């Protein structure tokens, strides 16, 4: 039994969000052969080949709040419900309470009566190891009376958020680091479909470095309902910046190119915004002054969900979503080749423009976009 979260708050357009949620749950359950249907404010999955595996997969679907492995029963067979409740609780010890909920208001017992009757039935048969505590129980035996009765005593938290695709589309600048996968996850969690853009400086960055980013994208794709990755060749642009621009400004100029190219790809993909893993003050190119200079080259909104996060908190988040171990593999990123000794932290626009003047911007960008390799995950 799958419960949704924030979709509850929707008014007239709730059906739109529910339709998207069911579609995403259905995709996730498909490899397990499960039947998926929506009924009475719950999504149900039945007949799956590997229930534990299916639950783990569905727990990653944005929009799903929690999952309970439930037993479905004929609601008129109250004796059967009591027996089943007993079977569920027998193996447990400590304190418990029964929590009944009826959406069928014509049921012959109301919720407090169900609680009392089932509670007594279970207690009298397990008095040596179970006790009732209605305030702070260790176990909650839930009984939901809908078109059928549903019993469960375990509830697993799931990803939360909104179903992917209900919040539009955005392009994520995905490096091999810790931050950008987390930034992408956060925005995807709000229902946004992602397309990823990665800059690769072969042969200065290796095939391993590229594979690492694809591995990260693969992890993200499980949450994002698939992920298209543009691997953009960046070597020529970096070489020219290195040769022609003032050394202290090379990182910033390079970052301006990253933004411009990402915007071009976003337009091609009909995405409406860019996402980066930047956080104020983390590195020289992320001071307020530096961020302003990289922001101004694009007109799309740029979302930086980690802007106010400490690195340590981002690392914690990365561990939670399962990207951390891959992110810390020691392969170089294009940002770490050609690094200036003293990157400008308070850049002067005149210096940036003076450097950029020497580059054939349109041709460089067009070549990079045209030669991007597209990987569908």
What's the CA gap between 222 and 225, in Å, rounded? 6
CB atoms within 10 A of CB 2: 26
Q: Which of ligand ATP, Mg ion, none binds 334 (CB below 5-8 Å, type-dependent)?
A: ligand ATP
Closest CA to 276 of 297, 246, 255: 255
**What residues does 274 pair with on adjacent strands?**
171, 302
Determine if 261 is a binding residue for ligand ATP (CB under 6 A): no
What's the CA gap between 131 and 241, in Å, rounded? 72
Determine if 276 is a binding residue for ligand ATP (CB under 6 A): yes
Q: CB 37 → ligand ATP: shortest distance, Å?
A: 39
Determine if 283 is a binding residue for ligand ATP (CB under 6 A): yes
Q: Which stretch binds ligand ATP (CB under 6 A): 61-69, 108-116, 223-231, 283-291?
A: 283-291
| Nearer CB in complex with ligand ATP: 119/177 | 177
**What residues does 2 pair with on adjacent strands?**
43, 67
Determine if 305 is a binding residue for ligand ATP (CB under 6 A): no
Q: CB 217 → ligand ATP: shortest distance, Å?
A: 11
Q: What CA–CA distances, in Å, run from 181 to 191, 223, 317, 326?
A: 16, 11, 10, 10
Tell me the chain's radius of gyration from C-alpha atoms: 27
**What residues does 196 pair with on adjacent strands?**
172, 229
Site for Mg ion in 326-365 (CB under 5 A): none
Binds ligand ATP by CB under 6 A, chosen from 175, 221, 287, 293: 175
Determine if 179 is a binding residue for Mg ion (CB under 5 A): yes
Determine if 210 is a binding residue for ligand ATP (CB under 6 A): no
Q: Which stretch binds Mg ion (CB under 5 A): 48-56, 113-121, 179-187, 326-334?
A: 179-187
Q: Which of Mg ion, ligand ATP, none binds 290 (CB below 5-8 Å, type-dependent)?
A: none
For residues 220, 287, 239, 327, the Cα torsion angle rounded to the nearest 10 degrees is -30
Q: CB 230 → ligand ATP: shortest distance, Å?
A: 9
What's the CA gap between 283 and 286, in Å, rounded? 5
Question: Residues in contact with ligand ATP, total (CB under 6 A)?
Answer: 21
Binds ligand ATP by CB under 6 A, chosen from 236, 269, 332, 333: 333
Determine if 284 is a binding residue for Mg ion (CB under 5 A): no
What's the CA gap between 297 and 112, in Å, rounded? 63
| Nearer CB in complex with ligand ATP: 130/232 | 232
On whether the CB atoms of residues 202 and 236 are closer than 8 A, the answer is no
Q: Which chain residues interact with Mg ion by CB under 5 A? A: 179
């Amino acid at each position: 039994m799958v419960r949704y979260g924030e979709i509850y708050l929707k008014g007239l357009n709730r059906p739109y969000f529910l339709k998207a949620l069911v579609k995403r749950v259905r995709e996730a359950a498909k490899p397990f052969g499960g039947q998926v249907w929506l009924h009475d404010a719950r999504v149900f999955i039945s007949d799956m080949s590997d229930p534990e595996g299916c639950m783990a997969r569905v727990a990653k679907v944005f929009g799903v709040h929690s999952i309970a492995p439930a037993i479905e029963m004929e609601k008129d067979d109250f004796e059967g419900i009591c027996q089943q409740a007993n079977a569920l609780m027998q193996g447990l010890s400590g304190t418990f309470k029964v929590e009944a909920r009826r959406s069928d208001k014509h049921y012959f017992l109301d919720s407090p009566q169900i609680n009392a009757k089932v509670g007594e039935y279970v207690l009298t048969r397990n008095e040596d190891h179970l006790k009732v505590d209605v305030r702070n129980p260790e176990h909650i035996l839930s009984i939901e009376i809908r078109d059928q009765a549903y019993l469960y005593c375990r509830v697993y938290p799931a990803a939360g958020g909104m179903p992917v695709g209900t919040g539009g589309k955005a392009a994520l600048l995905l490096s091999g680091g810790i931050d950008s996968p987390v930034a992408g996850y956060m925005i995807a969690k709000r229902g946004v479909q992602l397309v990823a853009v990665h800059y690769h400086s072969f042969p200065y960055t290796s095939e391993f470095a590229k594979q690492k980013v694809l591995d990260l994208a693969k992890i993200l794709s499980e949450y994002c309902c698939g992920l298209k990755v543009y691997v953009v060749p960046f070597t020529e642009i970096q070489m020219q910046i290195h040769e022609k621009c003032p050394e202290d400004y090379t990182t910033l100029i390079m970052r301006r190119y990253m933004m411009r190219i990402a915007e071009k790809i976003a337009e091609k993909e009909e995405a409406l915004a860019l996402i980066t893993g930047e956080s104020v003050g983390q590195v020289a190119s992320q001071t307020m002054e530096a961020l302003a200079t990289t922001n101004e080259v694009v007109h799309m909104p740029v979302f930086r969900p980690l802007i106010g996060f400490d690195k340590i908190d981002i690392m914690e988040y990365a561990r939670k979503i399962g990207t951390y171990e891959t992110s810390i593999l020691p392969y170089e990123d294009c940002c770490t080749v050609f690094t200036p000794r003293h990157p400008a932290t308070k850049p002067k626009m005149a210096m940036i423009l003076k450097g950029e003047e020497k580059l054939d911007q349109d041709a460089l960008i067009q070549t990079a976009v045209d030669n991007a390799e597209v990987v569908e995950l």
